[in-house]
């Protein structure tokens, strides 16, 4: 098992993160015997709120009993998708899309886990995970997410293609897509998380498949030796006269 405490500390220190990187694990009934942490599985919560709390040091377990957001419940396969959501009518009523048809298209494009495949989702700071997570979610400023994205392609130079409908930013874009596709995915947030959490106006989200996390941290260390240090010094800007 990777040293999660060290991985978390290096990520925080190099990037100067204010929130904790959050580990997310999808749990089946057969896995529950390995869960020992004192997870809060009673408080009614939206997934974005659980992510916010985990970024502040708490441990949370989400199940069909305590999840209060129908969209994220469906994304994790904990509950069926409501008709008002699948039709796009709810998104239209919320003023998010011009027509129910546009809302429906957004919902049709969501990546979701199979119904009943998992019975719980656990979230806690990466340093306190008692098992390797499936996904690491980082909620932070664009500059910090930029360096993580660059660290991911540091050895390949390939282009990144992020996937979002600006709805279900935390559950689908930052968690389910990285888990299912095994690729980084970043998003700008959405109505739900900006209404329900303390995410800052200048903050966004990035989901990282845990399988890529060790390599990303190693590449962040290399970037911090030269490129990051120089860019953050803003030497070129300070010498610019206009």
pLDDT in tens, 220-241: 999 999 999 999 999 999 999 8
Secondary structure element (H or E) that encloses residue 136, with its range: strand 135-141
CA atoms of 47 and 58, how far apart (whole Å): 13
Whether 237 is in a domain gets the answer: no
Measured between alpha carbons, how far is 174 from 75 in angstroms, rounded to an integer? 12
Residue 153 domain flag: yes
Tell me the whole-structure pTM to 2 decimals. Answer: 0.95
Q: How many domains does the chain have?
A: 1
* Residue 71 domain flag: yes
Q: Is the pLDDT of residue 96 over 80?
A: yes
**Does 240 map to a domain?**
no
Domain that holds residue 200: 4-231
- Identify the pLDDT of residue 31: 66
Residue with tokens 């429906």: 104
* Angstrom distances, CA of residue 135 to CA of 12, 129, 138, 232: 17, 12, 10, 28
Share of the chain above pLDDT 90, in %: 93
> Would 238 be classed as within a structural domain?
no
Q: Does residue 1 surpass a pLDDT of 60?
A: no
- The answer to whether position 241 is within a domain reads no
**Pairing of the two strands 135-141 and 60-62:** unpaired
Per-residue pLDDT at 242 exceeds 90: no
Residues 198 and 8: their CA atoms lie apart, in Å, by: 22
Tens digit of pLDDT for each residue in 128-171?
A: 999 999 999 999 999 999 999 999 999 999 999 999 999 999 99
* Predicted pLDDT at 2: 74
| Any domain includes 160 | yes
Question: Does the residue 73 lie in any domain?
Answer: yes
């Amino acid at each position: 098992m990777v040293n999660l405490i060290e991985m978390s500390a290096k990520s925080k220190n190099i990037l100067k993160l204010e929130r904790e990187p959050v580990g997310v694990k999808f749990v089946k009934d057969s896995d529950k015997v390995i869960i020992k942490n004192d997870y809060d599985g009673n408080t009614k919560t939206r997934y974005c709120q659980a992510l916010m709390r985990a970024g502040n040091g708490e441990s949370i377990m989400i199940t069909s009993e305590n999840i209060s957001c129908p969209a994220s419940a469906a994304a994790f396969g904990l509950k069926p998708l409501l008709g008002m959501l699948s039709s796009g009518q709810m998104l239209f009523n919320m003023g998010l899309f011009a027509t129910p048809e546009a809302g429906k298209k957004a919902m049709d494009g969501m990546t979701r886990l199979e119904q009943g495949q998992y019975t719980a989702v656990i979230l806690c700071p990466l340093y306190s995970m008692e098992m390797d997570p499936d996904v690491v979610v980082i909620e932070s400023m664009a500059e910090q997410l930029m360096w993580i994205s660059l660290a991911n392609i540091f050895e390949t130079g390939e282009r990144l293609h992020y996937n979002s409908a600006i709805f279900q930013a935390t559950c689908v874009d930052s968690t389910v897509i990285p888990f299912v596709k095994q690729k980084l995915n970043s998003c700008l947030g959405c109505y739900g998380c900006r209404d329900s959490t303390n995410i800052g106006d200048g903050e966004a989200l990035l989901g990282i498949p845990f399988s890529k996390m060790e390599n990303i941290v190693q590449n962040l260390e290399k970037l911090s030796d030269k490129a990051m240090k120089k860019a953050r010094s803003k030497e070129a800007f300070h010498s610019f006269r206009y």
